[in-house]
Amino acid sequence: MKERSTKPYLIRAIYEWCSDSGYTPYLSVKVDAQTRVPTEFVKNGEIILNISFDAAHHLTLGNDLIQFSARFGGLSQEISIPVNAVQGIFAKETTQGILFPPEGEADAVQPENGIENPDKPPSSTQISPAPAGKKRRFQVIK
């Protein structure tokens, strides 16, 4: 039996934390053929979406699919995003959240013991250490 992914659960947890904290949850999405978003707002194959209660109507954060309707340029549009296309979820106000490794790199960490597989390259997303008195930020390491 295939192990269930933690990704949709982490997305829901950060969404709930943002909502409870009064922050605006944003999704970073890698757009592909299965992703239904307004293409005029896609830049470099990616789109950032506000999924707050006020912006995303009838929001469903499912295990395989995220669906909602939102207004773009005054027109209501149905949005459908496969969970595997989500690159991260974060609070607009603080940039705190989670960045997910690309799907191909998700195998690099073994869930049983958290040790990186020496046959795979290390994950490309890391949280930079917070200097004293400063906010933590996500940093993409290439």
Per domain, the residue ranges of the chain are 1-94, 101-142
The count of other CB atoms within 10 Å of the CB of residue 21 is 12
pLDDT score, position 104: 64
Q: Which three-class secondary structure state does DSSP give residue 94?
A: coil
Domain 1-94 fold is SH3 type barrels. (2.30.30)
Ranges of residues in the chain with a pLDDT under 70 are 104-142
pLDDT score, position 61: 97
pLDDT score, position 127: 39
